[in-house]
Homo-oligomer: A and B are copies of this chain.
Amino acid sequence: MNSANSDSVFSITMNVRDYECDMQGIVNNAVFQNYLEWARHGYLRSRGLDFADLTKRGIIVVVIRAEIDYLRSLRSGDSFTVTVRTRMASRLKLAFDQEISLCPGAEPVVKATITTTCLNERNRPYFHDDLSRLL
């Protein structure tokens, strides 16, 4: 399911489930955010971090910006790959550059940059040290 190839791009393979398609017969826009999130959380696990466990420990990692380019459609029966690369977007912000494609190397279906941060108990952004494992 998961793999990290030579240049260290994390990826997971998923399948379109029929209930994720809308009346146009294609995957609904919002569902792609679910796919992207599931790949990011898989990446976390590959680095020894579990999203539910972080939440229980009070480390609240939140998405503060999503930029998503929808370039092609996905349909029932499609199998696809979601990649994850990380970089610091600023001192407190961790960005995930992600692509969804029908197979590795194919033209992307979706390109996205998801920017995250941690929120403390006063809802102020900070960068929790544990997240440095993701870089």
Contact = CB atoms under 8 A, between A and B. Distances in A.
B63 A37 contact: no
Given A51-B76, A52-B75, A29 B23 contact: no
A105 interface: no
B70 A65 contact: yes
Interface residues of A, number: 38
A86 interface: no
Interface in A81-102: none
A126 interface: no
Given A18-B41, A66-B67, A70-B66, A34 B23 contact: no
A44 B77 CA distance: 12
A58 B64 CA distance: 30
Interface in A52-81: 52, 55, 60, 62-73, 75-77
A23 B51 CA distance: 10
A17 interface: yes
A69 B64 contact: yes
A125 to B, nearest CB: 11
Contact of A38 (B19, B33, B38): B19
